[in-house]
Structure 1
Amino acid sequence: MSQQSNDEQGGQHRRAILQVAGAAAATGLLGANAASGQTARPGGRDDAPLGARLQGVQHFGVTVQNMDRAFAFYTEVLGGTEVMRDGDFKGAPVHYTLMADQEIVARERRVDPRTIGVPDLKGGAQRLDVRFVQFENVVIELLQYRDAAQPTGSGDSWAEPRDHMSPAYPRSMHICFYVRDDVNFDTFIADLEAECARRGMTQVRANRTVAVHSEQERRAAPRETNTIKIHEGPSNGWSIVYCKGPEGEQLEFVQVLGPVKKTFADAAEARRAATNRG
């Protein structure tokens, strides 16, 4: 391997590290020690339980088929704000940071890594692009793995989208958004679907609380069937909608009112108090 190649891979590695640190700084989630340039002292935070060394969730990541379409949904439709974007990531350090476990799986199965969705970031045949979108309390990272010759942001991803999208599958994850207390939840969902349909984002479809046997029946269902509202038990005050996003990703929208709102508020306050004592 040439010195130039080594330097390029080293630069990619440093860039990946700066990418993560920069995103955390941009969203105000670096710790006080990092912000002040101090390092942890023996007997300090590094000796605390693992949970006490965390500051919370920094972001949720979604691998998308079409970056421009996904970015428009999370910024223009849902109102998120772009934090930063970067891309054209490639090289061995990036490849193995993201794909080492899948390389091992491919080797154990004696199959070509490409057949189980492993792109060639190491050799540069594929590249990774990212965009970070800020909401009030969390950041969403959009990731697209594309062929090197494909322009950044446009076109389809390198890998095929998954066929099985039921949230019942183990390892499935979803992104949940709060709906404000003073918003009519049923109207919000109707407006969301209408706006996405106007933009051609036909994958954005919310479920209904009644049986529907076709897309026509789903659209024709009464507006009050848009959301399920819970009025008893520990979840009293919780309203829920399950909805697919433009990339087929699982989304949830919730409104948290009444007793359950107090339950979560009390839990958050108790955690803050315990953290401050630590």
Structure 2
Amino acid sequence: MTSERSDDILPENPDRRTLLRAAGSITLGGLALTGAGSAAPAVAQTAMTGKAVANRDSAALGLRLQGVQHFGLTVQNMNRAFEFYTEVLGGTEVMRDGDFKGEKIHNTLLTDQEILAGELRVNPRTMGVPDLKGGDQRLDVRFVQFDNVVIELLQYRDSGQPMGDGNSWAEPRDHMSPAYPRSMHICFYIRDDVDFNKFIHDLEAESARRGMTQVRANRSITVTTEKERLDAPIEANTNKITEGKSSGWALIYCKGPEGEQLEFVQALGPVKQTFQAAFDARRKLIGADKG
């Protein structure tokens, strides 16, 4: 990383507004290239020493964060999703919990939807709002650890349904285009020395072997049928960007077993240096903060 790049992101004497903007804009860049889960917390721990401890609550919001703790995914079938994220993608189970019900958890998760249902004068159940308060439905969760982030799987089920088995209480969404506002996706970072095209091929093959027919990756060439997608040459599995600020970025979009939107990326060359510079600047920003 050059000193000029750091100065572009973080001026020598930043004001509070500059700190806030920098904290918010470069967080994802730093997390994306953190090689192990301990790196980001270590930065925060360093910043929480000395005078920074007493003044942390008056710091900019972005400087009170340790980073992204997990991404949550509401699933239709818990066992199927858990199998994909642990056995196919190799995540490690952190813990599982569940049978959550009652007024407190219901209000914590669903107050906004209850208010909206009241304003629209409709039954909340017609809007996909489960009855955790009365206990007709229950919530189960499982956490899966990857190198630098955790994924939380959530399932809302009927109270009489065993944990992990069967489908969710609510129907899955039919339209899952990533262009819809409010859509989110989970992005996995593929190691530098991995053949990206072969990874996508093997991912689809292993998922198909397990009957996970939703796991289908897009191609970088135009295909109009499923047969054409399957018959596309293996080099069409990956979109490699060679120009502009994203030069060195390789990506593919893929649906997961629940129909969720996944992305797999590699960041090499110039774009890798850009993300690393952002991560280094984030470390400098938090380490320099005195409240």
Q: TM-score range by the shorter chain?
A: 0.7 to 0.9
Q: Is 2:250 the counterpart of 1:239?
A: yes
**How far is 1:164 from its partner?**
1.0
Show structure 1 runs of 4+ deviating over 2 A: 27-33
Which of 224, 227, 239 is residue 238 of structure 2 equivalent to? 227
Count of residues in Structure 1 that have an aligned counterpart in Structure 2: 247
The answer as to 2:182 corresponding to 1:168 is no
Q: Corresponding residue for 2:189?
A: 178
1:100-145 deviation digits (Å, cap 9, x = unpaired): 0000000000000000000000000000000000001100000000
Q: How does 1:233-272 map to 2 (within 5 A)?
A: 233-272=244-283
1:154 aligns with: 165
Paired residue type of 2:218: N
Matched residue SS, 1:216: helix
Bigger relative contact order, structure 1 or 2 (CA pairs below 8 A, ≥6 apart): 2
Shift of 1:157: 0.1
Equivalent residue in structure 2 for 1:199, among 207, 210, 214: 210
Query: What CA distance in whole angstroms lies between the structure 1 residues aligned with 2:139 and 2:85?
Result: 19
* Partner Cα separation in structure 2 for residue 32 and residue 218 of structure 1: 48
Between the two proteins, what is the percent identity of the paired residues? 72
Q: 1:67 aligns with which of 78, 96, 108?
A: 78
Q: How does 1:23-172 map to 2 (within 5 A)?
A: 44-172=55-183
Matches of 2:188 and 2:77, distance apart in 1:
21
RMSD: 1.9
- Mind listing any 5+ residue stretches in structure 1 that lack a counterpart? 1-26
1:212 alignment partner, one of 212, 223, 238: 223
CA distance in structure 2 between the aligned counterparts of 1:210 and 1:190, rounded to whole angstroms: 15
SS in structure 2 of the partner of residue 44 of structure 1: helix
**1:175-203 per-position Cα deviation (integer Å, ceiling 9, x unaligned):** 00001100100000000000000000000
